[in-house]
Amino acid sequence: MSRIARRFQALRAEGRGALIPYVEACDPDFETSLALLKAMPEAGADLIEIGMPFSDPSADGPVIQAAALRGLAAGATLAKLFDMVRAFRTDDQETPLILMGYLNPVESYGYERFCADASAAGVDGLIIVDMPPEESGPLERFTKPAGLDMIRLIAPTTTDERLKTVLNHASGFVYYVSITGITGTRSASTEDLRAALPRLRAATDLPVVIGFGIRSPEQARNASRIADGAVVASALLATLAKTLDADNRKTDTTVSSVLSQLRDLATAVRAA
Amino acid sequence: MTDKTGINSLRHGPDASGHFGGKFGGRFVAETLMPLLTDLEAAWTHAKTDPAFRRELDFYLRDYVGRPSPLWLARRMTEELGGAKIYLKREELNHTGSHKLNNVIGQILLARRMGRTRIVAETGAGQHGVATATVCALFGMKCVIYMGATDVSRQAPNVFRMKLLGAEVIPVTAGAGTLKDAMNEAMRDWVANIADTYFLVGTVAGPHPYPEMVRDFQSVIGDEVRTQMQTAEGRLPDIIVAAIGGGSNAMGIFHPFLDDASVRLIGVEAAGCGLDSGRTAASIQRGRPGVLHGNRTYLLQDENGQIDEAHSISAGLDYPGIGPEHSWLADIGRAEYVGATDQEALDAFTFCTRTEGIIPALESAHAIAYARKIAPELSPDTLLVVNISGRGDKDINTVAEHLGVKL
């Protein structure tokens, strides 16, 4: 059983959903993002998404765009990201790590080499935002042998017919994009989320997590109860950004502020 | 929208999944947008074979755009260069001053058929933005134009035009504030406003079906050249030269000739400060295939797959990618792709103005620059067509600055 499947099974036994924070590689620098990554499980992360910085993140809002640019300015590359993952895995063999980003840097690295290196470093799954199932054949040839889950986004606009196609190419879990929009902007109402879930549940046995627009502990708790998990990205990155100095360098409060917010989110998700 | 005949025709593309030659193009977007693209494709597939749509389009092309545009024999330019016989396709005479209106008039008719009421578009030089704002005024639709902040300042007259036409112009400060950043922002707007919004792409790039659709709307250029050259010379042209940013004016004039092997097709990319200066917009000559803005195509990018900033004196060519059909035509060798530098374009700008009394857009000046380079070596019975994709009034400030003139 994969790390992702094991983690969701354990959470089911605990009777709660997952909290999935997001960290952008090398934002604001390699050491700080690694320190955050390493401390996140203890602060309440059940799975972690690591952003692969891209120059043109066209599905992301201003907060993740800025984080990606800080990461690139600090020299983020996929090779460095794999270094981060390896360093994390020296202490933590259990927390699933998901890479999220855009196709071009992956294509540039080479699909086969990317999957092999990601898997060897200790990555568990991939979310490639701009690669729909129709275009994913060439990459999927290598994700499966490497044991990497292909996590698919499902949107409110996804039709029932399309849902089948997308799910045929999904493994690990399914990521429900709760709004039609970009990351970190508006939020879906609890009613909308409740209404959306039965359709997904009927179509798949995979765990379903909700992302886009989840900011507060209350929203995270609701989403993690309606579904099997909640992703919080922009809210954490906004906190991180606020702690940086005028030159976008970390300060003494950078790591502690993000972790403190994560703890608040975790407390809400774990509350009975 | 011409007939495509012959099994081995190069004009059948793209395939059902939007790929040219099985490699370029496609549909690389977030899941939220996929169903919208499927809807758009269905609407387009229906419209392109609907005689009522064709009639409506023809009406607007004739009475609003002002088509057909003339094919002008450039006598003094021909004499001065002393070689090939040069014809200029006068797309700058279209309403709003460029070829852009051919495409936007087609797409807005489609948007209306689809019941959309709000139009978003990206623009570089502002030509596509002005064209889009114009048809939005014509049909009373809400119009939002994303334009890089750098371009907003170097194309101030076009920004003012768009505002006069009732459009909201949103400057994009991300990245270098040019066309690629405007494209990102327009895509973000679309994904957040899908219920009423139509994304009106200005070039032969983006996710399927945009490259095919924009090409078909722009192919009126090449279709007319074919007829006009037959009338003027009783045969096909020998060489067609067009400037390339995203590549819509070039694709429009090339496409009807793809199956005519005798016709050399030459796309002129912006070489900026020189092809090897590191400051160019020459995606085919200095880029490699990758995925950006919904399609796989040649891109200027670094060794890690991060997209480079393009550079050109011409805001309309300042884009690190190119339409996927051009990438395919380059790979199979059907079209040639060359470069003209900022300086060569400036020289061609004044040359065309002085010899023909036609002030070309700086974009089009790149095509003239290359024609100027090859024409003297060619025999007088060589028929060379240059696509004058737009007029240069919008570039007067930029040119004056480079000539050291204060306006």
Residue A192's pLDDT is: 85
Active site residue B48: no
Give the CA dihedral B259, B262, B264, B265, nearest 10 degrees: -20
Domain that holds residue A27: 3-271
Q: Which residues of A are catalytic?
A: 49, 60
Give the mean pLDDT of B139-168.
94
DSSP conformational letter for B310 = P
Cα separation, B367 vs B268, in Å, equals: 6
Looking at CA atoms only, how far is residue A232 from chain B in angstroms? 19
Give the number of beta-carbon pairs within 8 Å between A and B.
Answer: 113
Residue B177 has pLDDT above 90, yes or no: no
Residue A186 is predicted with a pLDDT of 81
Tally of domains within chain A: 1
* Residue A170 identity: A
Return all residues near A92 (Cβ < 8 A) that are at least 6 apart: A38, A41
Beta strands, E only, chain A: 18-24, 48-51, 97-101, 125-128, 149-150, 152-154, 174-177, 208-211, 229-232
What is the residue-averaged pLDDT of chain B?
A: 95
Is A232:A258 a contact under the CB 8 Å cutoff?
A: no
Q: For residue A127, what are its two tokens?
A: 């979310």
**Closest residue in chain A to residue B306, using alpha carbons only:** A55
Give mean pLDDT, residues B181-185.
91
Q: What are phi and psi of B239, to 5 degrees?
A: -140, 135
Percent of chain B whose pLDDT exceeds 90:
89
Task: State yes or no: pLDDT of B230 exceeds 70.
Answer: yes
**How is residue B398 written in tokens?**
């930029």
Q: Residue A90: which CATH number?
A: 3.20.20.70
Check B183 against A58: CB less than 8 A apart. yes
Q: Which of B100, B180, B212, B248 is catalytic?
A: B100
- Dump the DSSP string for B53-70: HHHHHHHHIIIII-PSPP
b/e string for B369-383 if b means 16 or more Cβ within 10 A? bbbbbbbeebeeebb
* Residue B1 confidence (pLDDT): 46
Out of B28, B35, B174, whose CB is closest to A103?
B28
The pLDDT, as a whole number, for residue B5 is 62
CA of A175: which chain B residue's CA is closest? B31
Active site residue B122: yes
By the 8 A CB rule, do A89 and A122 touch?
Answer: yes
What pLDDT, in 10s, does the model give residues B2-60? 455 677 899 999 999 999 999 999 999 999 999 999 999 999 999 999 999 999 999 99
Local confidence band at B100 (pLDDT 50, 70, 90 cut-offs): very high
* pLDDT score at B4: 53
Provide the shortest C-alpha distance from residue A100 to chain B (in Å). Answer: 12
Mutate to test the interface with A, among B178, B188, B307 (most CBs of A within 10 A): B188
Say yes or no for a CB contact (<8 Å) between A158 and B34. Answer: yes
The per-residue pLDDT for B2 is: 46
A57, A105, A157: residue with CB nearest B32: A157
- Spans of chain A, pLDDT less than 50: none
**Residues 6 or more apart in contact with residue B32 via CB below 8 angstroms:** A59, A153, A155, A156, A157, A177, A180, A181, B191, B194
Rounded to 5°, angle at Cα A230 from A227 and A234: 150
Closest chain A C-alpha to B288 CA, distance in angstroms: 9
pLDDT at A272: 64
Q: Which of chain B's residues have a Cβ under 8 Å away from the Cβ of A165?
A: none
Radius of gyration of the CA atoms of chain A, in A: 17
